[in-house]
Amino acid sequence: MAENYRIIGIDNINNYYDVNLKLNRLKELGINSDGTGTQPNLVFYRTNLKEKEAVKEIFAREKPGLVVHLAAQAGVRYSLENPYDYIDSNILGFMNILENCRHHHIRHLVFASSSSIYGANEKMPFSEHHNVDHPISLYAATKKSNELMAHTYSHLYQIPCTGLRFFTVYGPWGRPDMAYFSFTEKILHNTPIEVFNYGDMKRDFTYIDDVVEGVYRVMLKIPKGNQKWDGKNPDPASSLSPFRIFNIGNNKPVDLNYFIELLEKNLGKKAEKKLLPMQKGDVKETYADIDALHEYIGFKPYTTIEQGIPRLVKWYLDYYTHTKQ
């Protein structure tokens, strides 16, 4: 908005998690409960992306030049119980985005992929140049599908597409189903936290502000085909088509127990831990190779976990104190 872009937001505000948190996020961004924006260049549509005609109508009315697709049914564990939600949101919803990008000749589509796409891979750090044909959750499989679908449309219709594999994004206004959020809530309320794989896990935690900066910079850099791409030795990270894939992570895996210690320190309370075996569909460690992203946009995440956790805790305490008044 500061750069005078007209911003068109779309979300279905479903009840996968706290609807009030979603509505308050929108309010923070300058969007009223009726969907109108408080700024002239801001508009919001409460629409489900799987609704073909509704999405088509929005594209026809607004005629966007840049599309940043961050919507999805998230969560690895939820996909074990509600698989069809992932097909509706992550496959059908993305298909509607691609079709409208095609017909409206958008300049660039940036879309969210995920670190979960690395699945059974154990070679660290995870690189965009690695093969990712072994997802271990339906969520990861839908994200892999998104990358394949985007490449197909990039090839057939020369749509510039960039996919970003996010690594455990955390921070203020985050999702309550994420471990860092539920840990914070449960520690404050003296409820045991569930620690999977008996705590022997590492995550490449990436602070939200770093992710936003990365998305913004990538959005403004429209990819071109890689003329050095070799079909006899295909690189998954690029293509002859205008298509790129990048990791966006902190490049510093953090031990889960250390992460919990930081939460305890900032909350001033000890956690009661319930140690459990590894959950189906989960991975032991994530670790992002971000050299390609840094070279491409001159930026890489820099917020340490020691800086990010205090900001998360401060927001959490402020937000829930305010909402209870």
Neighbours of 125 (CB within 10 A): 20
Question: What is the Cα–Cα distance from 211 to 208, expressed in whole angstroms?
Answer: 5
The 10 Å Cβ neighbour count of residue 130 is 15
* C-alpha distance across the termini of the chain, in Å: 31
Pairing of strands 161-166, 108-114: parallel
Residue for token digits 């929005």?
Answer: 58
Sign of CA dihedral 33, 34, 38, 43: positive
Q: Which residues are catalytic?
A: 139
Instruction: Give pairs for 289-295: CB < 8 Å, separation 24+.
Output: 289/125, 289/126, 289/127, 289/128, 289/247, 289/251, 290/246, 290/247, 290/248, 290/249, 290/251, 292/127, 292/128, 292/237, 292/246, 292/247, 293/214, 293/218, 293/246, 293/247, 293/248
H or E element in which residue 102 lies: helix 93-104
- d(Cα 101, Cα 160) in Å, to the nearest integer? 10
| Separation of CA 313 from chain center | 21
Look at phi and psi of residue 171 and say left if phi exceeds 0, alpha if psi is from -120 to 50, else beta: left
Cα Rg for the chain, rounded, in angstroms? 20
